[in-house]
Amino acid sequence: MRTKTLLLSAAALAAGVVTSMAANTYSVNVVGYINVTVQPGFNIIANQLDVDGVDSISTVLNATTPASQENAEILKFSNATGGFSGDFYTAFLSDGLGFVGWYDGVTAAPSTNTIAPGTGFFYFNPASSNVTLTLTGTVLQGSSSVPLPSGFSIISTVAPQAITLDTTATNNFPAVENDEYLPWSNGNFGNAAFYTQFLSDGLGFVGWYDAVTAAQVFPTPAVGSGFFLFNAGASTSWTRTFTVQ
């Protein structure tokens, strides 16, 4: 899954300037878009822009995304149940029934589900080729938090950045021993990365390592992508500060 972020400030837009990856953007309120390329089948993507303060599926992935081809599907993971809830896109208008949009896979009613910034989810692309989704909204600046319940969840950063999941003051990821990072690539989970604190064992190593090669790795999810995280500790939050420079 390839992603590209372009952030446009009101001041920059007035000046005819387009900035990339939040660079050289000066407006306090920054709006923009994220292009996410999804392959045929399932992809884990994320919302990293605020649409309207509600972030309903129908506004985050609307008819102009163009996320919304018939038979597209969204699956949100529930930490509480360990299962998924699904929404499907339908174009009943083409059948003369007058409805176009996302509907709840259980109730068959128009979906009321939301995808808040920092939330990862599965997106099923029913096409036989790659599709580019364009997510638009406001870049949230200042302090933000992503809930990290104990156990599995699908998350992302709130800010549209590719950042390393480290415990530095800048990124502030609250990793603990036995955490697990599971990325999704080409329709499958990639190699799992585990967090360990060998320092506590006197071996001098603190960080993530590849579960297959045992080599040190630095998980850095791409812009617009989500990932599975297993939080081996108590429920907490990933809190960090982001400001467009």
DSSP string, 57-89: HHHHT-TTTT---TT-EEEEE-TTTSSEEEEEE
Which parts of the chain have pLDDT scores under 70? 1-28, 67-68, 91-98, 199-204
Please name every residue paired with 110 in a beta bridge, in sequence order, or none if there are none.
103
Would you kindly state where each structural domain of the chain is located, as residue ranges?
A: 144-242
Is residue 110 exposed (0-12), middle (13-18) or buried (19+ Cβ within 10 Å)?
A: middle
Please tell me the pTM assigned to this model.
0.82
pLDDT confidence of residue 164: 94
* 34-66 pLDDT tens trace: 999 999 999 999 999 999 889 998 889 887 777
